[in-house]
A and B are shown apart, each in its own frame.
Chain A
Amino acid sequence: MSVVQANMHPLDNYLRTERLPHVWCSGCGIGTVLGAYLRAMKNIGMDPEKTIMVSGIGCTGRAAGYVKMDSFHTTHGRPIPFAVGIKAARPDLNVTVFSGDGDLFAIGGNHIIHAARRNADITVITINNFIYGMTGGQLAPTTPETGITTTSPYGNVESPFNLAGLVAVSGASYVARWTSLHVRRLEKSIEKALKKRGFSFVEVLSPCPTAYGRRNRMRDPVDMLKYFQEHAVVKHHINPLEGVIEPDKDFIVGEFLDAEEEPTFEDKLWEMTKKEFLYTSQAERTAWILEHRRHLETLSKIISGRGER
């Protein structure tokens, strides 16, 4: 029996549908996670016109090309500093970085720890598929020990990064890890991350059947999701160091960190500017205030809230 044929999908308003189908392989989890992101946006009523997505290079880096919002597909490893720049210039806009583990933690590793340290008010979604997918399956900073890749044909001798743990200890405000199978909780988690003022980070373990699964006994996309189903243990607010992922062992997913809100990097930058800024003319003053109205409002709320505590 055939399902009902449709021309439109409920998320189409958030997608550049003229560019679909996307480039990702059959069974790749990136589309699933992108869907969770767009649903989360929709659920909390975040205005796509006031939202910017920045991606780096790699399979996940292509995400920015499919969302119907202002989007930037930048250079390898640099979406976070690009996003920091755009957010500092326009604190009234929501800025999300959507990129892969290689992009954000190998070549761009320095940037993510510093953006977390600064508590830049951006949301970072990382697809962790344990591999460099787009370039054909080379070793990633997340490839599990013993993992076979095209550049570790005898097995990986390195220890992988514990991404969520690393970000949690670097100074972020919100950190969570899910798998692409945990779609509902992922969606809720992204909602929280988007709403959180400050640096928020969601790591999503996601299957790459083509470049990783094929070489590591999980050829079918279903195999990897089943692996997630069997080994993922939901646990919240753990010691970030517990977040290591080891082959064939259970691993923790959940909310690693949900810190109390603190003034963000942009709050502090603009507060400093506001103190020093000598308005040169009434017109300029008005323009400046308009531009940062939303920002100033939230800022004053936070500051007065802090006073009450």
Chain B
Amino acid sequence: MKVEVLEGHHFLSGDVAVAEGAIAAGCRFFAGYPITPSSEVAERMSRRLPEVGGIFIQMEDELASMAALLGASWGGKKSMTATSGPGFSLMMENYGLGMMTETPCVIVNVQRAGPSTGLPTLVGQGDVMQARWGSHGPYETIALSPESPQECFDMAVRAFNFSEKYRIPVVVLMDESVGHLFERVSIPPKSEIEVIDRKISTDKKRHIYEPDDDLIPPMPPVGEGFGIHVTGLTHDERGYPVITAEAQEKLVRRLVDKIRVHADEIIDYEEFMTEDADVIVIAYGISARSARRAVIMAREKGIKAGMLRLKVIWPFPSKKLRELVEKASHFVVAEINNGQILVEVERAIRKEAVFVGKMGGEPHRPDEVLKGIEEAVK
């Protein structure tokens, strides 16, 4: 198995597929702390990274993992960690440091049911808002949500590409079900996988945080005499702390805008039978697979149902929803939490949606989503 890209057809779990995707994207550093149901990602990486010239470290906790990730990223390695709810909570501090210092890296969160230790081995989707707002302060995030091992592979590549291109920590919001189920994963040859690398600064005179027109500053390498200073404090373009409201406005506004102006390149969704739909289910991850079945069942009953599946959760596709609300009259949201994406959906469509929530432990049965669809059209 000493190959960089595991070309061909394989029967893999989502956890293993996301690891393979990362390696294909050029990930060469992994720091993590074991936690169910994400540990298989670490296990795979510990076996695979040395084969491709990379480094795997099992850190002492998730705080350390996230810190090491940022360090390694500045050291020039594409870096990743994998965790689940409680570990994700511990990573939030340095997730914020990654945002503030514009450090590319990827965090895989295989969601389980919480709060707290909750159901370690069973599914949840309760970290959606934590991925968005988990660290303190204003910022924009990128979070992807795969529904199958194939997408785990594909989205790991995409997550790295986003993180490198926009210089931002990117979250792959998996869930236990997708992480643990096995399916065929078809991996193209290396030459056919688009891999984006960060812009590297070559001008030693240029300030470390002087952005290009796309609002993204190229990243200087360490150990090459650039003499960079990187701080989590609000800083100016030289990277030096400036403790004023003006500096904060300027810096954080750019951090937000660099994602907002590129939102259209990032946002991605699947429309399933939405063309003539009266009622649209919004779902992501494993819930989308239940919803897809429910839509088919509804169509069999003569209800014009469709689904909008969020492949990228953040940035949220508000524009798309505003388009859909022109055509469809009813909206249903199915997610394994107490209503997180629901809030975003209702904000976009400016009316109530039927909420089919589950507190976690199992994915929606298709008939549960169908009930929501029927309630919506009643």
Instruction: Give the interface of A toward B (CB within 8 A).
Output: 16, 19, 48-50, 52, 54, 64-65, 68-90, 92-93, 110-111, 114, 269-270, 272-273, 275-280, 284, 288
Rounded to whole angstroms, the CA-CA distance of A127 and B198 in the bound complex is 36
**Chain B, Cβ-Cβ closest to A52:** B222
A82 touching B71, Cβ below 8 Å: yes
Set of chain A residues within 8 Å of B65, measured between Cβ atoms: 81
Partner of A19, one of B50, B56, B240: B240
Chain B residues near A87: list those with CB within 8 A: 71, 75
Partner of B57, one of A76, A269, A275: A269
Question: Considering the complex of A and B, which 4 residue pairs feature the smallest CB-CB distances, nearest first?
Answer: A85-B71, A89-B75, A85-B68, A81-B64
A70 pairs with B50, CB closer than 8 A: no
Check A85/B72 contact, CB under 8 A, given A78-B63, A273-B54.
yes
What residues of chain B lie closer than 8 Å to A86, measured between beta carbons? 71-72, 74-75, 222
For A71, list chain B residues within 8 Å (CB): 228-230
What are 21 A-B residue pairs whose CB atoms fall within 8 Å in the complex?
A: A52-B222, A68-B227, A71-B228, A72-B231, A74-B94, A74-B97, A81-B31, A82-B71, A85-B31, A85-B57, A85-B67, A85-B71, A87-B71, A88-B71, A89-B75, A89-B77, A90-B75, A90-B76, A111-B64, A273-B49, A277-B52
Q: Which residues of B lie under 8 Å from residue A78 when comparing CB positions?
A: 63-64, 67, 93-94, 97
- Given A65-B229, A86-B74, A89-B77, A81 contacting B240 (CB threshold 8 A): no
Cβ B50 vs Cβ A276 within 8 A:
yes
Which A residues lie within 8 Å of B302 (CB)? Answer: none
| Residue in B4, B54, B60, B93 whose CB lies within 8 Å of A75 | B93
How would you classify the secondary structure of chain B's contact residues: helix, strand, loop or mixed? mixed
Interface members, chain B 69-126 (any A CB < 8 Å): 69-77, 79, 93-94, 96-97
Interchain nearest-CB distance for A256 vs B (Å) = 23
User: Would B228 and A89 count as touching, CB distance under 8 A?
Assistant: no
Contacts A64-B229, A110-B60, A276-B2 given; does A88 touch B68 at CB 8 Å = yes
- Asked if B264 is an interface residue, CB under 8 A from chain A, the answer is no
Apart from A84-B57, A273-B55, 6 more pairs, CB < 8 Å: A74-B97, A78-B63, A78-B94, A89-B71, A89-B76, A111-B64
**Residues of B201-249 whose CB lies within 8 A of A:** 222-233, 240-241
A73 B229 Cβ-Cβ under 8 A: yes
Main SS of the interface on chain A?
helix
| Most interface-central of B60, B65, B97, B222 (chain A CB within 10 A) | B222
CB of A69 to closest CB in B, whole Å: 6
Cross-chain contact A81 with B223 (CB below 8 angstroms): no
> B residues within 8 A CB of A68?
227
- A88 closest partner in B (C-beta): B55
Measured CB to CB, the closest approach of chain B to A144, in angstroms, equals 28
Contact, CB under 8 Å: A90 / B29:
no
B8 at the interface (CB under 8 A from A): no
Residues of B near A88 (CB, < 8 A) are: 29, 55, 57, 68, 71-72, 75
User: Cβ of A110 and Cβ of B61 under 8 Å apart?
Assistant: yes
B71 touches A275 (CB 8 A): no
Complex partner residue of B229 from A16, A77, A273, CB under 8 angstroms: A16
State whether A72 and B74 are in contact (beta carbons under 8 Å apart), knowing that A85-B67, A89-B55 are contacts in the complex: yes
> Which residue of chain A has the shortest Cβ distance to B77 in the bound complex?
A89
A70 B222 Cβ-Cβ under 8 A: yes
Given known A-B contacts A65-B241, A278-B3, A85 and B231 have beta carbons under 8 A apart: no
The listed residue (A48, A54, A69, A284) touching B71 by CB distance below 8 A is A54
With A75-B67, A278-B3 known to touch, is A70 a contact of B75 (CB < 8 Å)?
Answer: no
Report if B59 contacts A (CB, 8 A): yes
